[in-house]
């Protein structure tokens, strides 16, 4: 069985030839010394850690799962040691702020490490990923005192983070949450309530666990305006930074789940846990959104990571497995990779993966531009693109990621259904990415209901203009005709559909009925855009991915982009057939 091979060549191609990483990053204050060469050499080492340490643990840890005994959580054998090695090697602080001890590398570098972590061991990758999300919220919204006390050890990875939003009656609709926080009188609060589904809610790595908890103050109004955010550590922290008494929180139980078995998903009881406000009272969701946007990009990357690992294994199996005869009937048994249907499955996955990676890097670079560019207009422009693309990355990457896990499993036939090959684990692990961090249906509603109307509808228009410019540039390079023409047609459909939705934006039934199809139409067009850029760069360059890129771009044009025809038609057919049926008749 082939082991995971970190996609370093592809990363180097994207950073150097397609996305002008050096040119974009080196204009940003603080990133003058950053280069693709540096990023690739760092990621090469990161890839070795993922492939050498984390991937071998993936299946045994899935088999063993996490345990809760006498109130103590234990992760499967090897996970705690791997986490310590990860921290000692400095991986936890890769993109952390240098003022708190981080290495300050750009987000694009971070997401590529995240992709490799997700390919190798998704359960493991959630520990540092959630910690980083908590760090973002604290960095942007907490007091200087809290930042100084908590951030250095969280950025180094010595302490981990968790986010505690969900309650049994409050999932998507956080306005329904009931956890309460009462002022103690010394600036701290006592938090009471039960949260469910809390990833990394506890672990056995040592150190501390910093929970960011949503709760209501005693006089808070109902709904989302009454929610505040609190930092509550597992162990209280003394003034000298050492760990003090256990705080009033405990793990009620571990959730029994379909996948990510090496990740402790906890029911957390907060029984008067001491916490401190992060941000202003009643503005907790605002503070939490800082964390959630970073986490949404991260979850999209998880879909990509699993797809890459599953597709690699499927391609390798398809080259070795002998079944059936060659197309002309003259040879047999032949490797199943000769059969068009198997090739189509592999190409479907590959054509999503490469485009998604390029789009993820582009989006991460926009995040860095939004945070650092000296020109406020450039910052605003980049920030708009990030807002528009965040739900697309989260939902489309995880939908296509899951689909890629399933078709990669399909390449194995019955062997894919048997545990020892590891393909069914990809399917089980990938499934959660479509659900947590806001379900994909809710991401689609965010795109249609909130992001499209931004700037009076002009934000999407600016994005479409950018795609057109790049298609125009790509069309000048020979051998890009098919991908450029197919993407231009998809963009026409996307623009027409966007106008239709903006015209009907007063009607929630129209938006709600169209949202998921619209997000897929948007994503396919954005992937086409990235394929046109990659094909143009590959045709001009002489790098290893050249032949593969041009061939897969043609496949994407011929076999994937036509899906946009059906999506446009479905959306144009309107909401009536979705709304008409009486609830009792379902
Ligand atoms: C393994 C796992 C780990 C998790 N980790 C965390 C964590 O670390 N921290 C945390 O706080 N939470 C966590 N969650 C919770 C997760 O984020 C929620 O499960 C998710 O947001 C959905 O909420 P829900 O389960 O209550 O579903 P519901 O909100 O009940 O939704 C049910 C269905 O209705 C749809 N729906 C709901 N409202 C709308 C609407 N307004 N418009 C259209 N459709 C709608 C949804 O899309 C979904 O299909 C985790 C969950 C799991 C399973």
Q: Please tell me the distance from the alpha carbon of residue 254 to that of residue 267, in angstroms, as a whole number.
A: 6
pLDDT exceeds 70 at position 173: yes
149 and 12 in one domain? yes
pLDDT tens, residue by residue, 114-123: 999 999 999 9
pLDDT at 208: 98
Would you say residue 418 lies in a domain?
no
Q: Average pLDDT over the chain, rounded to whole?
A: 96
95 and 52 in one domain? yes
Range of the domain at 191: 160-283
207 and 151 in one domain? no
DSSP state of 417: G
- What does each C-alpha distance from 563 to 120, 224, 319, 390 come to in angstroms? 31, 38, 28, 22
pLDDT at 338: 98
pLDDT at 555: 98
pLDDT at 366: 96
Q: Quick check: CB of 436 below 6 Å from ligand 1?
A: yes
pTM: 0.97
89 and 30 in one domain? yes
146 and 13 in one domain? yes
Of 106, 139, 155, which marks where a domain is finished? Answer: 155
pLDDT tens, residue by residue, 339-383: 999 999 999 999 999 999 999 999 999 999 999 999 999 999 999
221 and 145 in one domain? no
118 and 76 in one domain? yes
147 and 267 in one domain? no
pLDDT tens, residue by residue, 205-252: 999 999 999 999 999 999 999 999 999 999 999 999 999 999 999 999
Would you say residue 245 lies in a domain?
yes
267 and 189 in one domain? yes
112 and 64 in one domain? yes
Q: Would residue 437 show up in a list of annotated catalytic residues for this protein?
A: yes
Q: Quick check: CB of 445 below 6 Å from ligand 1?
A: yes
Q: Quick check: CB of 199 below 6 Å from ligand 1?
A: yes
Domain count, the chain: 3
CATH number at residue 90: 1.10.540.10
Say which residues have a Cβ less than 8 Å from residue 266's Cβ, sequence separation at least 6: 73, 198, 199, 201, 202, 251, 252, 253, 254, 255
Q: Please tell me the distance from the alpha carbon of residue 62 to that of residue 76, in angstroms, as a whole number.
A: 8
249 and 146 in one domain? no
Catalytic residue selected from 437, 458, 495, 568: 437
Beta bridge partners of 274: 190
pLDDT tens, residue by residue, 453-476: 999 889 999 999 999 999 999 999
From ligand 1's centre to the CA of 167, what distance in Å?
A: 10
Would you say residue 88 lies in a domain?
yes
Would you say residue 341 lies in a domain?
no
Q: Quick check: CB of 442 below 6 Å from ligand 1?
A: yes
Of 238, 259, 283, which marks where a domain is finished? Answer: 283
166 and 119 in one domain? no
């Amino acid at each position: 069985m082939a082991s995971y091979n970190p996609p370093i060549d592809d990363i180097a191609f994207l950073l150097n030839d397609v996305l002008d990483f050096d040119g974009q990053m080196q204009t940003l204050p603080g990133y003058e010394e950053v280069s693709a060469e540096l990023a690739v050499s760092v990621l090469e080492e990161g890839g070795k850690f993922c492939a050498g340490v984390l991937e071998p643990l993936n299946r045994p840890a899935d088999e063993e799962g996490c345990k809760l005994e006498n109130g103590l959580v234990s992760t499967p054998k090897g996970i705690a040691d791997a986490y310590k090695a990860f921290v000692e090697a400095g991986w936890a602080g890769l993109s952390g702020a240098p003022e708190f001890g981080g290495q300050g590398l750009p987000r694009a570098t971070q997401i590529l490490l995240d992709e490799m972590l997700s390919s190798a061991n998704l359960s493991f990758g959630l520990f540092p990923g959630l910690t980083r999300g908590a760090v973002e919220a604290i960095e942007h919204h907490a007091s200087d005192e809290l930042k100084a006390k908590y951030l250095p050890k969280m950025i180094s990875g010595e302490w981990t983070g968790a986010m505690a939003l969900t309650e049994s009656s409050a999932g998507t609709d956080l306005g329904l949450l009931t956890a309460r926080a009462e002022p103690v009188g010394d600036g701290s609060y006592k938090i009471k309530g039960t949260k469910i589904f809390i990833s990394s809610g506890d672990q056995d790595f040592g150190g501390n666990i910093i929970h960011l908890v949503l709760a209501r103050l005693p006089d808070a109004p109902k709904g989302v305006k009454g929610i505040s955010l609190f930092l509550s550590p597992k162990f209280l922290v003394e003034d000298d930074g050492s760990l003090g008494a256990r705080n009033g929180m405990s793990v009620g139980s571990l959730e029994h789940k379909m996948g990510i078995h090496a990740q402790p998903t906890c029911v957390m009881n907060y029984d008067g846990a001491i916490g401190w406000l992060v941000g202003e009272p009643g503005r907790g969701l605002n503070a939490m959104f800082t964390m959630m946007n970073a986490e949404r990009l991260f979850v999209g990357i998880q879909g990509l990571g699993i797809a890459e690992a599953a597709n690699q294994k499927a391609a390798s199996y398809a080259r070795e497995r002998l079944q059936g005869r060659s197309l002309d009937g003259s040879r047999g048994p032949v490797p199943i990779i000769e059969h068009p249907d198997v090739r189509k499955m592999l190409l479907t996955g590959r054509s999503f993966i490469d485009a998604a990676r390029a789009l993820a890097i582009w989006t991460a670079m926009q995040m860095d531009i939004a945070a650092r560019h000296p020109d406020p207009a450039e910052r605003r422009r980049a920030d708009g693109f990030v807002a528009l693309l965040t739900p697309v990355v989260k939902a489309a990457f995880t939908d296509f990621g899951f689909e890629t896990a399933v078709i990669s499993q399909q390449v194995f036939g019955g062997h894919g259904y048997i545990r020892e090959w590891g393909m069914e684990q990809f399917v089980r692990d990938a499934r959660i990415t479509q659900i947590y961090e806001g379900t994909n249906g809710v991401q689609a509603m965010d795109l249609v209901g909130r992001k499209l109307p931004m700037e009076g509808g002009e934000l999407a228009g600016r994005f479409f203009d950018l795609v057109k410019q790049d298609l125009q540039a790509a069309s000048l390079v020979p051998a890009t005709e098919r991908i450029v023409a197919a993407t231009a047609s998809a963009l026409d459909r996307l623009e027409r559909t966007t106008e239709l939705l903006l015209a009907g934006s007063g009607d929630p039934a129209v938006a709600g009925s169209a949202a998921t199809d619209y997000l897929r139409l948007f994503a396919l067009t954005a992937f086409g855009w990235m394929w046109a850029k990659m094909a143009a760069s590959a045709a001009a360059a002489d790098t290893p991915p050249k032949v593969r890129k041009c061939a897969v771009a043609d496949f994407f044009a011929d076999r994937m982009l036509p899906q946009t025809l059906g999506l446009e038609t479905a959306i144009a057919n309107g909401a009536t057939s979705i709304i008409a049926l009486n609830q009792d008749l379902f």
